[in-house]
Each structure stands twice: as C-alpha cells, then as structure tokens.
Chains A and B, each alone.
Chain A
Amino acid sequence: MKFLKNVFVVVASAMVSASPYSLPAQNVDATMLLKPPADSWPSYHGDYSGKRHSKLTQITPQNVNRLTLAWAFQTEHTATIKSSPILVDGILYFTLPDNLWAVDARSGQQLWHYTYPPNKGDHIGQRGVAIYKDWIYFTSPDAHLISLNAKDGTVRWIVQIADVEKGYWTTMAPLIVGNHVIVGVGGDMDNLQTFIRSVDPETGKTQWQWDVTPPAGTPNTATGGTTWMAGTYDPDLNLIYWGTGNPTPVLTGSTRPGDNLYTGSIVALNPDTGKLVWAFQPSPHDTHDWDAVETPVLVDGVFHGQQRKMLMQASRNGYFFVLDRTNGKNLLTVPFGPVNWTLGVDKKGQPIPNPAKEPAPDGRLIAPDEGGLTNFRSPSFDPHTGLFIVDAHPSWSIYFAKPADGTYGWAGADYGLWGKGVIEAIDYQTGKIRWSHEVGPGGSGSGVLTTDSGLTFTGDAHGNFLALDTANGKTLWHAGSGGSIASSPITYELDGQQYLLTSGGGVLFAWKLSDTSR
C-alpha cells in the first residue's frame, strides 16, 4: 500500500512540475482590455487608443544607457518577426506566419509552440494574436481564424474567414471589443470584395460583416480596400475605427472611376452592429497601392484652443491627417514628406489625385514609393510633448500601367528607385516636424513606442534598436540586433522591473535596466 502511495505521490508531483499544463489562468476580460494594468500588454496596440504610449517611468533618459539584455528568444526561423507580442499573466504570445509561441516573460523560455499546417495563403506577415478570457485568436495565411487554449495551445476551433482559393489571405491581430472578435482580410492580387467581420468569441460564428465596396462585378466600381490591420476603439463613443486598403485593380483606375468608397478610407463603425457611422478618405481613387490601414491613433486634447476628441493618421500616401473622431470632420491635412501626386487638398481635407500622375505605359515618377511614406509599423503619440512620432520613408519610384496589363489584380508594375528612413516628430496641431532623426538608407521598418519618462524607442535601417530623447530626438542608447526590424516595440512591468521588448530578424529581445539584474 505504501508502495502504491509512493507511486501516486511521485506521479502527482511529476505531473504538476513536469507537465506543461500547470500554468496560471489567463483571464483577459473587457475591463482589462479597457484599462490594461502595468504588467500587461493585452492586445496588439497595447490599449484601445493606439497611441503606443506607456505610463511606465522606471527607464528614463538618465538611466536608459544602462539598458541590458534580459533574454533573447530565437524562433530559429529566417522570416522576420512583424508581430507585436502580447503579455498577459507573465506569458508572452507572439507569431510568425503559421507559427504561434507562448514564452515565459521572466525566463524567455518557450512554453508551447503551435504550428498551423502548410497552406496556400500568402505568407507575407503575421501581426500577432488577440486574447480574451482563456482563449487566443490567431489568423492564418489561408484566411482562417483559429481559437486556441492560452494555457497549452490546443485548438478549440478553426473557422474560415474567406476563401484562399479566390485570393484572400489574413495576417492581422484580431481586435476584441466586448464580446466581439473583429477581423479583416488581405488580398489585392485579385479583384475581391473585402470586409470587416465580427465573430462570436465562443464559437467563431459571424455576428456581423461590413463590406468595404459593392460586390465584385458591379460596373464602374472598385473592389478591394483590404482591412489587414487591427483598428482602434473609443468606449465612450462606442465606435471602432478601421483603416481600409487600396482598391483593386491596383495600378489602373480605368474601370473604377470616382472616389472608390470605401477603399483607402478610415471608417467608424458601431462594434455591436457593424453599421457605418462616418467615413473619411485619405486616399480617394488611389492608383499607387497606398492603403489607409495605418494606426488610427485616438487622442483627447486641445486643437487650436478647443478641446477635441481626435483621430490621427500618418497615412501611406504621404499625408498626416487629424480628424474629429466624433464625426469624421477634418481638422488638419499636411504632407509629412515628399509627395508629388496631388493637385492639392479639397474642402473635405482629402487629397485630390493628379490624373497626370496615374501609372502610365511609359512610366510616371512618383513620391513616395509603393511601400509608402510610412507603412504598418506603429507610430506613437506622446501627450506631454504633443508629438506624433512616425517612422517615415521619403522615397521615389516609377509606376507603369498599360492596356495590355489588363484590369485584374495588380494590373501594372512599379519599381522603387530610392528611399531612406527618418523618424519624424510631428506637432499634431500644425503638422510641422519638430525634430527628425535619420535612420539610414532604404528605410528603417521599426515602429515607435514612447513612455511617460520622455523616451522614444525605435530602430534604424541597420537593425540597431534605438532609445531617443522624446524632446529632441537625440540617441541615448542603442543595441545591434543583427537582423532587420519590422515590428513595433512594447513595454510592461513585471516583478517591479520595466521591460522593453523588441525584435530583429527572427529573434525577440527583452531589455531591462542592468543594476537590478543578476
């Protein structure tokens, strides 16, 4: 009997200590998403405002030069990480296409790794996961939504978002609002109708869907307007703000005259019904593959002497927009780098595309290039300085389209000639660039994070992580990652220690101050 009892004791303790299943509960609920505690980063943007600005002040301009490596996690994949990790209850979750890792944020050791099977979807990138209660929501290249148990990565269900055979793919981190899991799609190599969809977090069943354009095949209208980045949310107004992508066919507008609503737009939807409340179009009748999916940053503040609820976007097409987010009215439209494709700005504050700069058979010189004056990596808004800080990419390119290219999918060709990276700190009330920090030829690719202590974290074109003084852009700390940076930094506090998380290539790096390490 004692023998069996010993067996039981040994087995039980072995199960508890050696089993990967004995993890603390993840219990992300609406309250946590509304007011993320300091020891969390529970969603792609960190919070619903998209400011990517942290209240943590342990790391300061005075001590940041003591930032040291706490640990690195090597995915051992050659793909470059594009995801923002999320941190809940001491566990980090981050992704590459088809891959999801759960890592202990204290040790940097892997807890589990989920691999989605090989599939036909476009493996262009993966922005990260969403978490709600005990469940993780992960999108696949072949346009499926997978719900996994956060404790051990076992799959609860997989639902199809769209048909990969038609040309759809998904890359985005879903946005959780209330009991809605909100997803969008990619796919501009085909003339596809795209959408924003809300699904039930328990079952994955569709709750509502908002279509960006009329159905494919409607005469003289665009398709496209992919919805491939997570939006932001105002709980008081109960509105989600979502950017839409470029129209299809991409480089030719001959079959889609007019503004091509709601492609290249920022739309405000009711998250419970999916109804459109207002829309603003940063890129009317786009013919250069310029999405308007860049983070719609929500800021409450003074604009020209008046308190305003604002929405700010540094858009791919080269313009910085400030809107009143209650009604979509334009407050400011200013370029934040070289642009040469407009005839000016109309009464609504929307750029007027110059027909002479649409892609042509013998080519048109265009600024910026197809990658845009900025792209999906996050900007940051620092409330203390009123600076909107963005990774900008001044660039030039040539765009071609001829009748033989047809009117399907890309329908043309574009070639980047030259570009560089500049971190720009934009005064949101005027659009003036208060300081800029060159980050190298080709362009940086790192997003931006700011903190209350006056630090700006970003990176350069050579894979260096940078800490800058938010007041003047001067470099205070750097570390070389040895890889290209294509993600936005996050920060959180754990055990009284502030961590900064960055990625270079396929490696995730965790940084903290050295005088408390051992």
Chain B
Amino acid sequence: MKRFLNAVLVAGVGFLVFHATLVPVYAASGDGRSQAAQSPSGAAPDKQGAESYANHCAICHGEQREGILPAFPPLVGIKRQLTDQQITDLVHKGKGRMPGFPKLQDDELTALERYLASPGLSAPEMASGASDNSSGAHSSGLAEAGGALFHQNCAFCHGRDTMGGETGPDLTRSKLVQADVAGDKISEVVRDGRPEKKMPAFNFSSQELLSLSAFIHAQATKAASMKGGRRGVDASDLQTGNVAMGKQYFNGAGTCAKCHSPTGDLAGIATRYEGLQLEERMLYPRGAKSHVTVTLPSGQKLTGTVAYLDEFVVGMRDADGTYRSWPVSRVKYVVDSPVNAHVDLFSKYTDADIHNLMAYLQTLR
C-alpha cells in the first residue's frame, strides 16, 4: 500500500509540474476557474507578478488588466490613481464586490505591485520624452504622448478616438472641452474625477495633463473635419418653421391644446429645453408617467402610476410612493397613458408641421 501511495505522490508531483507552465496569450486557457499550480521556486519576479495577477485578479480585472466594464475597472495605469500603500490596502482588505487577499504578502505582493506598474500589453510606448517637450514647438508630439496616455487610461470608457465609449461620453462634442484652454478645465475633471458619474480621479503630472488635453483637442478638431462617426445637430439647424402656423397647428389639427397650455404646463418650456432636446421631447417626452387603476378581487380600487408592466406582472406606485405589484391574472387593471397621443400623431405629422410647432414652442420662454 505504501509503495502505491508513493507512486501516487510521484505521479501527483509530476502532474503538477506538467501543468505549471503559463498559458500563452493565443491559446485556450483550460478551465479558467481552476487554481494554477504554484510555479517552481526561483521564478523571475516579473513572471511571479504576472502569475499572481493571473491567479488572483484576472478573473475580474481581465487577463490583460483591461477590466470588464462597467463592473470591474481596468487596472492598466492603476499607479496613476493609487499610491502603493493604497494598492496594498485594497489588495488586503478588498472593497465592495472585490474580496480581500490578506495572505498576499512579502515577495508575492511586491512582485504583483511591480507587475501592476508595468505598461499594458497593447499600449504604445509611453512617451517619456513628453516631459522634455516645450509645449509650443512640439505640440504634435505632445498630442501623441497624450494619445498613449489616453489609450491606456481613458479609452475604455471614452473610446479610443475620444468619441465616446460604452460608459463615457463623446469628448469631441463636450461643452467643457470646447471651452477648455490648454487643459485648464480638462485637468480639473481628470484630477478630481466625476464620482457621481463613476469616473475615477487620476494622479497625472501637469505635463501629462497638458499632453492629454492636447490629444483631446486634436481629436475634437479631427472630428470636425474628415471623420466617420456620428455628427450632431445644433439649435440653429432647427429654425426653419413658421411661428404662426405652429400656433395654429398646436390649437388645431395637432390637438396639442387638448392636454397642453402655453401659459400652463408649457410656460417657459423653451428656457428649460432647447434645440434638439426640445424637439425630441415635443415629439415624444420620454419618462412621461402612465396611470393605472387596479381592481382587487375584493372590489377595492387602487390608483397610482405604472412602475412596471409586462404580460405577467403589473406594478404600481401609489401617492405615498409605496410600490405594489400583482400577477396580472389575479387583478383587473386599466392603464391611462396620455403620452400615447404623441405616438398617434407620428403618422399624421408632415415635416413642415414639426418645424412650425418647434418655431412656436421656442417662443414660450
């Protein structure tokens, strides 16, 4: 028996050694959830850091530290956002959904932190020459350096070309970017972040912020000329209608006056909304509430706004703000959606009607 157990032990060690090799990028990763075996002692620190990352962090933060947005942030360039001590604390204690790894210490921790400081896989060379550039003479070099920084730290949210990504807005159409002069406004946002909008703060140097701003401005200029992405609509584009005809349509064929009043609910509408936003809301106001009356089996009637409705469940918020729901099969309910009048008009408008209405509404200031 003992010999057999020895045999198992030898086989087991051999098996573990066989599986200890790092998986190259282009190959399948086996069962991604299994713990990779400890590497043989004496592995180089970079390799150890990469292995530590692969074992503990990659499942959430991505195999290339690219993150899985919006829940798991990218870690490329994390040293810009956090100090070493902050990183150590995070790794040990975790935060929110991130678990802590209190046993990650000493050599492994040092190696991991060194790995986290290394540049990302696909990022172009960090232009260390940026700090040598005088801002005037080498502005294109500055933008290029900013581009490298942008790709590593900003592109995941704002898109590689700054024209918007999954969770970040198009910077080329940003009023703040347009008003920015040599990075004065952009720097503030980058340094402080926008926590209410889930944008982190970044600890860049003044020179780095200058290069980032140069890149963003270069992209905005490019966007204004030969570029393929979506364009925009300015308020000045929407001034082709006739006010008098719009007023006539409002009170007549448009049936708007049945629900709306220029001195009532629409008083000052043109100060609250302008341009495309006003026209979109005029045609269909998103977020308009529908009302529902629910009759319970007892005969009792309850009223409120529709909070949820599918084939199976009706959900209502009453005047107190209490949410209640019922299986549709157990109650009777009647929904009143005044906003449907907007949908009914779609097939009736001419484009001239829309432009005229827009002209009229813009007088309601």
Contact = CB atoms under 8 A, between A and B. Distances in A.
The main secondary structure of chain B at its interface with chain A is loop
Interface string B61-74: 00110101111000
Interface in B282-318: 283-284, 310-312
A365 B3 contact: no
A97 to B, nearest CB: 12
A460 B312 CA distance: 11
Contact of A114 (B7, B29, B64, B229): B29
Which one of B10, B232, B310 has the highest number of Cβ atoms from chain A below 10 Å of its Cβ?
B310
Contacts of A113: 28-29, 32
A20 B349 CA distance: 63
Contacts of B228: 167, 189-191, 408-410
B231 A153 contact: no
A413 B230 contact: yes
Interface string A1-36: 011101101110011001010000000000000000
A118 interface: yes
B121 A118 contact: yes
A118 B310 contact: no
Contacts of B27: 114, 153-155
B28 A148 contact: yes
B29 A115 contact: yes
Interface of B: 3-4, 6-8, 10-12, 14-15, 25-33, 59, 63-64, 66, 68-71, 121-122, 160, 225-233, 237-240, 276, 279-280, 283-284, 310-312, 342-343, 346-347, 349, 351, 354-355
Contacts of A152: 28
A239 B28 CA distance: 36
Given A338-B347, A365-B346, A417-B284, 18 more contacts: A6-B4, A11-B15, A14-B15, A78-B71, A110-B31, A112-B31, A117-B25, A119-B122, A154-B27, A340-B347, A362-B238, A363-B233, A363-B355, A367-B346, A401-B231, A406-B225, A412-B230, A418-B342
A365 B33 CA distance: 51
Nearest to B352: A362
A413 B343 CA distance: 22
A361 interface: yes
Contacts of B232: 413
Interface of A: 2-4, 6-7, 9-11, 14-15, 18, 20, 76-78, 110-115, 117-120, 148, 152-155, 158, 167, 189-191, 338, 340, 356, 360-365, 367, 396, 398, 400-402, 404-406, 408-415, 417-418, 440, 460-462, 464, 475, 478
Nearest to B58: A115
Contacts of A153: 27-28
11 contacts: A4-B7, A338-B346, A340-B347, A363-B354, A365-B346, A396-B346, A398-B283, A408-B226, A408-B228, A413-B231, A417-B284
A410 B226 CA distance: 11
B122 A117 contact: yes
Given A78-B68, A189-B228, A110 B310 contact: no
Contacts of A117: 25-26, 64, 121-122
B227 A408 contact: yes
Contacts, number: 163
A155 B354 CA distance: 56
A362 B240 CA distance: 7
- Which of A20, A401, A417 has the most chain B CB atoms closer than 10 A to its own CB? A417
A14 B11 contact: yes
A378 to B, nearest CB: 22
B3 A400 contact: no
Contacts of A356: 351
A114 B178 CA distance: 42
Contacts of B4: 6
A461 B160 CA distance: 31
Nearest to B70: A78
A506 B283 CA distance: 34
Nearest to A112: B28
A110 B7 contact: no
A412 B228 CA distance: 10
Contact of B28 (A114, A398, A410): A114
Nearest to B339: A418
Contacts of A4: 7
A417 B11 contact: no
A254 to B, nearest CB: 14
A339 to B, nearest CB: 10
A440 B310 CA distance: 7
A14 B7 CA distance: 12
Contacts of A18: 15
A120 B240 contact: no
Contact of B229 (A189, A404, A475): A189
